[in-house]
Amino acid sequence: MNTNLQNKSNVQKIVLGVMLMLFGLVLIAARWIDLGALVLLVPGAAMLVWGCISREAGWIIPGSIVSSIGIGATVLEKTAVSNASETAQGATFLLIFGLGFALITLLTRVFTGTAHFWALIPGGIMAAIGAMLFFGGSEFFLLEFSNLIWAGALVIVGIVVLIRALRK
């Protein structure tokens, strides 16, 4: 078998093939062994490692997201958080998932030279909602009120789009 490791496209295909095989093996093993969140941690970590080595955001982004979901699931399964209320569990997961998005900004800056600041928006929203769930009280009112704001904003944007479309 002749592989040209100097060709970037070939290297990416080889890495993708290895990752798919690894993920498939984890899924097969999960039929007989309780792997829990390893089903997500293994491919997430593989994507993160490859993204950092290859200095490509295209691997860092999904690696950060999948890894943070796996870490969140592991924390909910294997720590004292599993005995907490459903609200506390949801808050914990959202905070960890939000940190996964923040990790995108950090790792893309360190390894690609260009920070992907867009990831702070969904990450910040998830972390803020997680914090509101943790603290409860008046923050719940803000969370419920924000649903009305979003719904109202969608109606207004829809009206503006319709008016502009009908004017042309």
**pLDDT of res. 17:** 81
- The pLDDT assigned to 98 comes to 95
- What integer pLDDT is reported at residue 4 of this predicted model? 54
Buried b (16+ CB within 10 A) or exposed e, 124-154: eebbbbbebbeeeeeeeeeeeeeeeeeeeee
CA distance 113 to 64: 17
pLDDT at 106 (0 to 100): 95
More confident residue, 121 or 36: 121
Q: What is the mean pLDDT of residues 123-130?
A: 90
pLDDT at 29: 79
Task: Name the band, by pLDDT with cuts 50, 70 and 90, for residue 141.
Answer: low
The reported pLDDT for the residue numbered 12 is: 72
Range 104-110 contact pairs with CB under 8 angstroms and sequence separation of 24 or more: 104/57, 104/60, 104/61, 104/64, 104/65, 107/48, 107/51, 107/52, 107/60, 107/64, 108/57, 108/60, 108/61
| pLDDT per residue as tens digits for the range 61-108 | 999 999 999 999 888 888 888 787 888 888 899 999 999 999 999 999
pLDDT tens per residue, range 24-45: 887 787 788 777 777 778 888 8
User: Which of 11-20, 61-70, 130-139 is modeled with the greatest confidence?
Assistant: 61-70
Q: Length of the chain, please?
A: 168
Confidence of residue 6 (pLDDT cuts 50, 70, 90): low
In Å, what is the CA distance from 25 to each residue of 42, 49, 68, 100, 120? 10, 19, 21, 25, 33
Going by pLDDT thresholds of 50, 70 and 90, the confidence category of residue 22 is confident
